[in-house]
């Protein structure tokens, strides 16, 4: 199924080789330039990578310190769950 153009307009390259996109829906684009002069812009939505909070890291460090010092709870019996696949 062919894609239908939502907007069509002419743009001029400025002195720094830039063009202006009118009312762009996205802030970031992946750019592909072709030998015949075509330029393809694909919108990208950048997100922050998953980060562990400072508070969580502190709790993990404290837990490992407790483990090394032998300050741990009694073992948990999980034999009742052996039949679960």
**pTM for this entry:** 0.48
The three-state DSSP-derived secondary structure of the chain is: CCCCCCCCCCCCCCCCCCCCCCCCCCCEEEEEECCCCCEEEEEECCCCCCCCCHHHHHHHHHHHHHHHCCCCCCCCCCHHHCCCC
Domain ranges across the chain: 22-71
Q: What is the pLDDT of residue 10?
A: 92
- pLDDT value, residue 48: 75
- pLDDT the model gives residue 81: 87
In tens digits, the chain (85 residues) has pLDDT values of 778 888 899 999 999 999 999 998 888 999 999 999 899 999 998 877 788 889 999 999 999 999 999 999 998 998 888 887 7
């Amino acid at each position: 199924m062919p894609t239908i153009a939502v907007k069509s307009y002419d743009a001029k390259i400025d002195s720094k080789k830039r063009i202006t996109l009118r009312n762009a829906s996205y802030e970031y684009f992946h750019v592909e330039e072709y030998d015949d002069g075509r330029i393809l812009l694909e919108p990208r939505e950048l997100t922050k990578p998953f980060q562990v909070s400072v508070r969580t890291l502190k709790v993990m460090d404290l837990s490992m310190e407790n483990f090394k010092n032998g300050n741990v709870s009694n073992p948990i019996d999980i034999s009742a769950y052996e039949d679960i696949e």
